[in-house]
């Protein structure tokens, strides 16, 4: 006989073990203790600052003004001039400095202007464009998603061929615009990866998302799915994707390592080796794809950019044969490849740096 | 500084840790994750910047926060660690010392509740275990009452089908 009472009794049989209870209790006490220590430390720091300020000699007003003016003249002006030249502040007034801040504007340099829009009472999805690097066989679909209905269902936007969780909505789980939705995205090395452009929304207020794909998973449409729990899922819409626009790419090589080439596009970087394997690159422990990714830098005229700093967390490493390999690494911001003078691959020990020059 | 004192938080913890644990366990289906979820829920409580109006308000907040946290965890489990509830014996997730005589029946009922889709679990827990009315549950979960009624009916229908019983 199964009744409401049985459900009560069954649930009642779940108890938190005493040891776990005590553990969490200690954690709560510790959190308060840490907070108290932080408060004391900041109070002490404030007192120190106050005391040190009090110890300073009082400077009569006219001398103070004179000292400040001289400091501004002799120190401030040279620093400001140097910074203005170094960081190209003049472009703020004479150039298009704000363009760098907008992912959409960056993308529009490469994308088709064609958009596809799918809208119902619950959601609106706009596919802004579709970029593809044929040299690398990497692609990027940019779309904006507005979830209109406030409920506790989950929405998944998935690549038609390789399913990836992209975005969700819910009364308390929907992240505010500007908060890093990327933490909710799951990246997988052998399929599509996704990205949320933190801090930027589309003109209709939607989340701006990038849906990555490679040649094997190139989609002809996206699918919007509503999820109920673990199992039940309803397909709400299928969204067509504009035809892809081709991205430029550049190839880099090193005369000593004739079997290795690096292809660079604004979307990502690809290492190809068709010779004696990745051991050819280094003789120390920099032999796996992650280590190579972590020690690679783009050399620009005025600075070096570490690949790890501009990459998605997903590394796609494809060892196709015994003695050859390919590594793809996608960027989470578009890289202007024309600015890249060389690519430098350091070893993890720093002893075997190799520079690849553009062909 | 936190808006609640340590004593206030510990009082809420002593009162509701089992409730939060049960909710988390129904979602996550194993002790370790449920313990972590309880810890996370109460750490969020400590950092929650507003005072509660009364005890019921605090209880509702804990229920919703624990449920939402578990849903987030399950989403991350989706690709990495799908836990099959049926593979866990009752002794794995319950530390109840007084094992009832009709253990098999309770196992079956508990498995049925744990296998419910996530959005129904909290409703079933609040209705059958905490004894809330559907209207109150709708308020707690911020769900439209008619939506909640249909979800409850659906949950009961799934349970009935799973347990092949018509007394629910």
Decide which of A204 and A149 is more confident: A204
- The answer to whether the CB of A296 falls within 8 A of the CB of A344 is yes
- The answer to whether the CB of B83 falls within 8 A of the CB of B77 is yes
Q: For residue B42, what pLDDT band results from cuts at 50, 70 and 90? A: very high
Residue A8 CB-half CA count within 13 A: 10
Pick from B31, B71, B114, B151 the residue to mutate for testing the A interface (most A CBs within 10 Å). Answer: B71
Whole-angstrom Cα distance, residue B71 to residue B94?
Answer: 21
Decide which of A135 and B92 is more confident: A135
Residues A131-171 have pLDDT tens digits of 888 887 777 777 777 766 555 455 555 554 433 333 333 32
- The answer to whether the CB of A314 falls within 8 A of the CB of A189 is yes
Q: Nearest Cβ partner of B163 from A2, A8, A29?
A: A2
Q: For residue B79, what pLDDT band results from cuts at 50, 70 and 90? A: very low
Q: Nearest Cβ partner of A13 from B13, B64, B94?
A: B94
The interface predicted TM-score of the complex, written ipTM, equals: 0.82
Pick from B20, B29, B35 the residue to mutate for testing the A interface (most A CBs within 10 Å). Answer: B35
pLDDT, residue A61, reads 65
Task: State yes or no: pLDDT of A101 exceeds 60.
Answer: no
Structure tokens belonging to residue B71: 């849903």
Task: State yes or no: pLDDT of A38 exceeds 60.
Answer: yes
From the list A292, A309, A291, the residue with the least C-alpha distance to A356 is: A292
Task: State yes or no: pLDDT of A178 exceeds 60.
Answer: no
Please report residues of A whose CB lies closer than 8 A to that of B36.
none
Please report residues of B whose CB lies closer than 8 A to that of A154.
71, 75
Residues A212-230 have pLDDT tens digits of 666 666 667 776 666 555 4
**CB–CB of A9 and B100 under 8 A?**
yes
How confident is the model over A252-260, as a mean pLDDT? 82
| Average pLDDT over all residues of chain A | 69
Find the range with the poorest average confidence among A55-69, A297-311, B148-162: A55-69
How confident is the model over A42-70, as a mean pLDDT? 71
pLDDT, residue A186, reads 30
Residues A294-341 have pLDDT tens digits of 788 889 888 888 888 877 655 655 555 555 566 666 676 667 788 889
The length of chain B in residues reads 168
**CB–CB of A16 and B18 under 8 A?**
yes
Pick from A3, A13, A159, A181 the residue to mutate for testing the B interface (most B CBs within 10 Å). Answer: A13
Predicted TM-score (pTM) above 0.90: no
Query: Helix, strand or coil for residue A64?
Result: helix
**CB–CB of A32 and B106 under 8 A?**
no
What is the distance in angstroms between the Cα of B23 and the nearest Cα belonging to chain A?
A: 9
Q: For residue A93, what pLDDT band results from cuts at 50, 70 and 90? A: low
How would you write chain B as a 3-class SS string? Answer: CCCCCHHHHHHHHHHHHHHHHHHHHHHHCCHHHHHHHHHHHHHHHHHCCCCCCCHHHHHHHHHHHHHHHHHHHHHHHHHHCCCCHHHCCHHHHCCCCCCCCCHHHHHHHHHHHHCCCHHHHHHHHHHHHCCCCHHHHHHHHCCCHHHHHHHHHHHHHHHHHHHCCCCC
What is the distance in angstroms between the Cα of A180 and the nearest Cα belonging to chain B?
A: 15
Task: State yes or no: pLDDT of B64 exceeds 70.
Answer: yes
- The answer to whether the CB of A171 falls within 8 A of the CB of A149 is no
Structure tokens belonging to residue B139: 């308020």
Task: State yes or no: pLDDT of A231 exceeds 70.
Answer: no
- The answer to whether the CB of A267 falls within 8 A of the CB of A136 is yes
Query: Looking at chain B, which residue has its C-alpha nearest residue A175?
Result: B72
From the list A310, A357, A352, the residue with the least C-alpha distance to A329 is: A310
Name the H helices within A4-76.
Answer: 4-12, 18-55, 61-71
What is the distance in angstroms between the Cα of A173 and the nearest Cα belonging to chain B?
A: 7
Residues A7-24 have pLDDT tens digits of 888 888 888 888 889 999
Please report residues of A whose CB lies closer than 8 A to that of B143.
151-152
**What are the residues facing A308 on neighbouring strands?**
none
pLDDT, residue A189, reads 29
Tokens 């992209």 sit on residue? A166
From the list B3, B17, B64, B22, the residue with the least C-alpha distance to A26 is: B17
Q: For residue A349, what pLDDT band results from cuts at 50, 70 and 90? A: low
pLDDT, residue B78, reads 54
Task: State yes or no: pLDDT of A190 exceeds 60.
Answer: no
Please report residues of A whose CB lies closer than 8 A to that of B78.
165, 186
Task: State yes or no: pLDDT of A346 exceeds 80.
Answer: no
Find the range with the poorest average confidence among A41-50, A169-178, A227-236, B158-167: A169-178
Tokens 């409401």 sit on residue? A4
Query: Looking at chain B, which residue has its C-alpha nearest residue A231?
Result: B117
Query: Looking at chain B, which residue has its C-alpha nearest residue A42?
Result: B1
> What is the share, in percent, of chain A residues with pLDDT greater than 90?
2
Decide which of B113 and A82 is more confident: B113
Strands (E) located in chain A: 116-119, 123-133, 138-147, 154-159, 194-201, 207-214, 221-228, 232-240, 245-246, 250-254, 257-265, 268-273, 296-299, 304-306, 311-321, 324-331, 342-345, 354-358
pLDDT, residue A199, reads 57
């Amino acid at each position: 006989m199964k009744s409401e009472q049985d459900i009560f009794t069954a649930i009642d049989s779940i108890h938190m073990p005493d040891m776990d209870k005590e553990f969490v209790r200690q954690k709560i006490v510790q959190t308060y203790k840490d907070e108290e220590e932080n408060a004391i430390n900041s109070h002490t720091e404030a007192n120190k600052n106050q005391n040190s300020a009090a110890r300073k000699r009082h400077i009569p007003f006219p001398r103070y003004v004179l000292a400040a003016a001289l400091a501004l003249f002799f120190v401030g002006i040279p620093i400001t001039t140097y910074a203005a030249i170094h960081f190209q502040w003049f472009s703020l007034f004479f150039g298009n400095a704000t363009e760098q801040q907008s992912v959409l504007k960056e993308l529009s340099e490469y994308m088709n202007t064609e958009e596809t829009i799918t809208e119902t009472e619950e959601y609106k999805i706009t596919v802004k464009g579709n970029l593809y690097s044929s040299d690398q066989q990497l692609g990027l679909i940019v779309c904006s998603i507005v979830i209109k209905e406030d409920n506790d269902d989950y929405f998944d936007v998935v690549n038609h061929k390789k399913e990836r969780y992209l975005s969700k909505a819910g009364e308390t789980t929907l992240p505010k615009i500007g908060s890093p939705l990327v933490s909710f995205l799951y990246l997988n090395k052998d399929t599509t990866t996704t990205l949320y452009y933190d801090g930027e929304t589309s003109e209709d207020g939607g989340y701006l998302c990038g849906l990555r794909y490679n040649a094997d998973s190139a989609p002809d449409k996206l699918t919007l799915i509503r999820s109920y729990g673990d199992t039940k899922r309803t397909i709400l819409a299928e969204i067509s994707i504009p035809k892809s626009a081709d991205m430029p790419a550049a190839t880099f090589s090193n005369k000593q390592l004739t079997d290795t080439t690096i292809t660079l596009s604004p979307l990502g970087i690809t290492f190809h080796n068709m010779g004696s394997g990745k051991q050819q690159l280094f003789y120390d422990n920099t032999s796996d794809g992650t280590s190579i990714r972590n020690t690679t830098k783009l050399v620009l005229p005025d600075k070096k950019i570490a690949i790890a700093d501009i990459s998605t967390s997903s590394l796609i490493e494809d060892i196709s044969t015994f003695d050859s390999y390919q590594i793809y690494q996608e960027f989470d911001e578009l890289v202007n490849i024309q600015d890249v003078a060389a690519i430098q691959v350091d070893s993890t020990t720093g002893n075997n740096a190799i520079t690849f020059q553009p062909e | 500084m936190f808006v609640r004192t340590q004593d206030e938080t510990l009082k809420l913890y002593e009162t509701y840790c089992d409730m939060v644990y049960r909710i988390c366990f129904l979602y996550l289906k194993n002790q370790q994750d449920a313990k972590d979820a309880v810890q996370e829920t109460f750490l969020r409580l400590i950092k929650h910047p507003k005072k509660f109006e009364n005890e019921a308000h605090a209880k509702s907040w804990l229920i919703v926060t624990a449920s939402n946290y578990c849903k987030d965890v399950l989403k991350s489990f989706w690709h990495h660690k799908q836990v099959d509830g049926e593979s866990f014996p009752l002794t794995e997730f319950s530390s109840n010392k007084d094992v009832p005589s009709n253990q098999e029946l309770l196992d079956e009922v508990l498995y049925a509740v744990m296998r419910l889709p996530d959005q129904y679990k909290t409703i079933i827990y609040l209705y059958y275990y905490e004894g809330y009315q559907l209207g109150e549950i709708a308020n707690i979960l911020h769900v439209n009452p008619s939506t909640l009624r249909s979800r409850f009916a659906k949950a009961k229908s799934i349970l009935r089908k799973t347990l092949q019983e018509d007394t629910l």
